[in-house]
Structure 1
Amino acid sequence: MSLIPPFTAETARQKVKKAQDLWNTQDPGPIAKAYTEDSVWRNRSSFFTGHEAIIAFLTKKWEKEKSYRLRKELFAFGDDRIAVQFWYEYQDAQDGLKWKRCYGLEDWTFAADGRMRKRQMSGNDIAIADEDRWFREGVDVNKADISEAHW
C-alpha cells in the first residue's frame, strides 16, 4: 500500500504510525530524510526550513529530552494533509531529569512523493510523577491506556 498522497483513512493512519516509529528511534539523520529538502517547520516557537535545520533541531531536542517515548494518533486527513494528536514522555535533562509529558497537535502537508513539506506543531509540557507515566520501558506505546480525559 502506497503512503503517498492522496491519502485514505488507512494510508493516513499508517503514515502517522510510520512517523511515530521513526521519531522513536531518536536518529535525526533518517528522520530528516522523511521531509523535503526545503521542508518548513514551526515547532512551538521555533521556525526553520530544511534538512540541516531539522537535524540541528532534533539533535538539540534529544540532548534535553532523555528517555523519550512518543505516541501519535490520526486526528484528521485530506488528500495531502494529515492532522495528528500526540503525547510523549521524557526526562528533562535541564530540570534534574524530572519526568514530563507533552500533549500536542501537528499539522502536516505532503509533497507528491510522500515526504513532508510542512510541519506545524503545538505542544504543552506538564510535570508528571514517575507513577503516572504511560510509556514505561517495555510498554507498547500503541497499547498504553490513555483515558478520554487526555485525548
Structure 2
Amino acid sequence: MADIKPPFTAESARQKVKAAQNLWNAQDPAKISLAYTPDTVWRNRDQFVKGTDEVKELLTKKWQKEKSYRLRKELFAFTDNRIAVQFWYEYQDAYDEMKWKRCYGLEDWTFDYESGKMRKRQMSGNDILLGPNGNGQGRWFVEETDVEDAIITEEHW
C-alpha cells in the first residue's frame, strides 16, 4: 500500500483505497500497522490513538469483538495527499450473542508524501443490527460473495 504515493490521481487514489480494503480484510494488525507512519494519529469512532503500537492494539481488540469481518471501501473524494472513503463492513458481534451487524461510515485519510504511508486517519461509523431482530436487512457479504461483487445501492440503506 505504501508504494502508492501522493500526489494522487483518480486511478492511484482508487488503487490506494482497494489496497487498504484488501489489507484490512486480511485482519493482520502487525501487517496493517506497516501502512501507517510511526507517529500516525487516528480517531476511530470514540477512540483516539497515536502511533503504530496503539494501532495494533486497537485492531487486535477490534477483531476480538468483530468476527467474520468483511469490508468494502469505495473512493469518495481525493486531493494531492488526502483521500476520503465511504465504507461498509459486516461482522458477528462476539459480545452480543454473535448477532450480525453492519457498519456504515466515512474515513478521512492524510498521507506522507515521501513514504506513501498514512499519517492521519479519522473514522466515523454507525452500526445496525441485521436480520429479523434488527432492521430486517440481510447480509451483503455472505461467504460466497466477493465484497466487490455485492451490489450496494441507496435502496439497501
Give the one of 128, 131, 135 matched to 1:129: 131
- The total of aligned residue pairs comes to 150
2:154 equivalent in structure 1: 148
The DSSP-based 3-state class of the residue aligned with 2:62 is helix
Residues in 1 aligned to 2:9 and 2:156: alpha-carbon distance in whole angstroms: 26
Structure 2 residue identity aligned to 1:10: E
Q: CA deviation at 1:138?
A: 2.1
1:114 equivalent in structure 2: 116
Greater displacement, 89-98 / 138-147? 138-147
Query: Normalization by structure 1: what TM-score?
Result: 0.96
Moved runs in structure 1, 4+ residues, more than 4 A?
none
1:2-151 matches, cutoff 5 A: 3-112=4-113, 113-129=115-131, 132-150=138-156
CA change 1:150–1:49 in 2 (3 A) is farther
Q: CA deviation at 1:143?
A: 1.1
Residues in 2 aligned to 1:150 and 1:138: alpha-carbon distance in whole angstroms: 19
Unaligned runs of 5+ in 1: none
CA RMSD after TM alignment: 1.3
Q: CA deviation at 1:82?
A: 0.1
Unaligned runs of 5+ in 2: none
What's the % identity of the aligned pairs? Answer: 68
- Residues 103-139 of structure 1 deviation map (CA, whole Å, 9 limit, x = unaligned): 0000000001110000000000000018700000021
- Residues 56-83 of structure 1 deviation map (CA, whole Å, 9 limit, x = unaligned): 0000000000000000000000000000
Residues in 1 aligned to 2:150 and 2:63: alpha-carbon distance in whole angstroms: 22
